[in-house]
C-alpha cells in the first residue's frame, strides 16, 4: 500500500509541477453552461462526487485525503455520494447520509471502502449493510430509522440531482466553484483542480463577490 501511494503521490507532484495556469476548457476540465449555487458566500466550494462502490473512487481516496488537507482557507470541501443509475450505489448513498445522521460516517468511511474492495464484502442492500454497520459499533435501531427516513431519502435524491446539474458522467469527479468539473487521471485531476481553485478565486475578485 505504501509503495502504491508513494507512486501515485509522486505522479501527482510531477504532474502538478508541470501544470501552469493554462488549463484548457474542454481538454483539461469542463466549464458548466449553467453555474451552480455555492452554499457559503466568499468560499470556493470543492465537491467530490463519489460512491463507496466505485473502484476508481477507492483508488482515489488516499490521494484525495492528502490533497484536501492542503486546500487553501478560502476553499471548502464536501463529498456527494451518487448512484448514477446503479441501485446498489443508491443504497450506499443512503448509507452515507444515514451514518452522517448517527455520527459514524467519518469513522467508518475508509473501512467501508476496504470492506467492499479489499475484503470483497457485499454491502449493497439494506440487510447486509445494516448487519455490517451493527458489527462495527453503530446503533442498528438509529441507523435503520435514519436509512429509511424521509430526510436521508431526500438527501440521496438531491445528490443524484446535483450529479445531473453538474453533468457528472463518471466518478470520481471533482467540481470547483460551481463552474468547473474535472475527472480522469487521478494525479491530473488534483493538479487541474488546484488551477481551477485559483481561477475561481480570480474570477470572484473580478466580479467583486
pTM here is 0.87
Q: Topology of domain 2-207, per CATH?
A: Glutaredoxin (3.40.30)
Domain boundaries, the chain: 2-207
Q: What is the pLDDT of residues 134-171, one digit of tens each?
A: 999 999 999 999 999 999 999 999 999 999 999 999 99
CB atoms within 10 A of CB 36: 15
d(CA 46, CA 135): 33
d(CA 72, CA 184): 23
Angle between helices 150-165 and 140-147 (to 10 degrees): 50
3-class DSSP state of 96: helix
d(CA 62, CA 180): 23
d(CA 205, CA 202): 5
DSSP β-bridge partners for residue 50: 81
Q: What is the pLDDT of residues 123-142, one digit of tens each?
A: 999 999 999 999 999 999 99
Q: What is the pLDDT of residues 160-203, one digit of tens each?
A: 999 999 999 999 999 999 999 999 999 999 999 999 999 999 98
Q: What phi, psi does 23 have (nearest 5°)?
A: -60, 145
Q: What is the pLDDT of residues 56-80, one digit of tens each?
A: 999 999 999 999 999 999 999 999 9
Give the pLDDT score at 4.
52
Give the pLDDT score at 121.
97
Q: What phi, psi does 50 have (nearest 5°)?
A: -155, 175
Amino acid at each position: 500500500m505504501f509503495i502504491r501511494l508513494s507512486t501515485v503521490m509522486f505522479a501527482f507532484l510531477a504532474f502538478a509541477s508541470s501544470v501552469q495556469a493554462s488549463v484548457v476548457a474542454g481538454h483539461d476540465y469542463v466549464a458548466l453552461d449553467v453555474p451552480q449555487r455555492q452554499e457559503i458566500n466568499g468560499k470556493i466550494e470543492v465537491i467530490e462526487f463519489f460512491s463507496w462502490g466505485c473502484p476508481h473512487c477507492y483508488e482515489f481516496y488516499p490521494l484525495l485525503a492528502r490533497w484536501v488537507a492542503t486546500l487553501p482557507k478560502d476553499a471548502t470541501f464536501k463529498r456527494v455520494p451518487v448512484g448514477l443509475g446503479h441501485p446498489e450505489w443508491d443504497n450506499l448513498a443512503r448509507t452515507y447520509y444515514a451514518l452522517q445522521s448517527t455520527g459514524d460516517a467519518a469513522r467508518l468511511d475508509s473501512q467501508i471502502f476496504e470492506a467492499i474492495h479489499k475484503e470483497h464484502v457485499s454491502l449493497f442492500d439494506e440487510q447486509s449493510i445494516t448487519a455490517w454497520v451493527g458489527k462495527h459499533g453503530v446503533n442498528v435501531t438509529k441507523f435503520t430509522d435514519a436509512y429509511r427516513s424521509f430526510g436521508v431519502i431526500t438527501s440521496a435524491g438531491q445528490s443524484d440531482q446535483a450529479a445531473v446539474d453538474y453533468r457528472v458522467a463518471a466518478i470520481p469527479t471533482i467540481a470547483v466553484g460551481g463552474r468547473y468539473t474535472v475527472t480522469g487521471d487521478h494525479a491530473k485531476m488534483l493538479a487541474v483542480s488546484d488551477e481551477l481553485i485559483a481561477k475561481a478565486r480570480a474570477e470572484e475578485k473580478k466580479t467583486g463577490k
